Copies of this chain bind each other. A is one copy, B any other.
């Protein structure tokens, strides 16, 4: 499979959006601070999330991003595939041709594994996650800390 920080960050950011859905549009700067993800990197990620229709954006002051639909209707798999291309563990990428244009010995195995992973990630929505106690606890902690550590050159200006 291809599960990298890009996908992980995307899910984290989307979950942040889900948690603060009632606060109106959320700026990337907010997410950056709360989740410890570089603003520039978030811009890149949200560009793809928007193209896939997972989030809506509002420009100008007071603007930001919000989920395009109910958190229960966005699966983790949707988010990952939006930024990560595919959740595929085969070498051939689905076409069974990795050994001399024919199927290799283990194609079937990886194919099943991919399906397994995909099913799992489809079965969990952002809404599910929001309801979990573990997630709630972390979210509460994040509210308490305000802006402790600054991280990007571009976010450091607004100290106080």
Q: Which A residues have a C-beta under 8 Å from some C-beta of B?
A: 1, 3, 5, 8, 11-12, 15-16, 35-36, 76, 89, 91, 99-100, 102-110, 112-113, 116-117, 120-121, 124, 129, 132, 134-135, 138-139, 141-142, 148-149
Contacts and interface: CB of A to CB of B under 8 A. Distances in A.
A106 B12 contact: yes
A8 B108 CA distance: 12
This chain: copies in complex: 2
Q: Which 10 A-B pairs have CB atoms at the shortest separation, nearest pair first?
A: A108-B134, A12-B106, A36-B99, A3-B89, A116-B120, A12-B105, A105-B138, A15-B105, A11-B106, A1-B1
A2 to B, nearest CB: 9
Contacts of A8: 91, 106, 110
Contacts of A129: 106, 109
Contacts of A107: 134, 138
Contact of A108 (B16, B104, B132): B132
Nearest to A117: B117
A8 B104 CA distance: 10
Contacts of A132: 108
A42 to B, nearest CB: 14
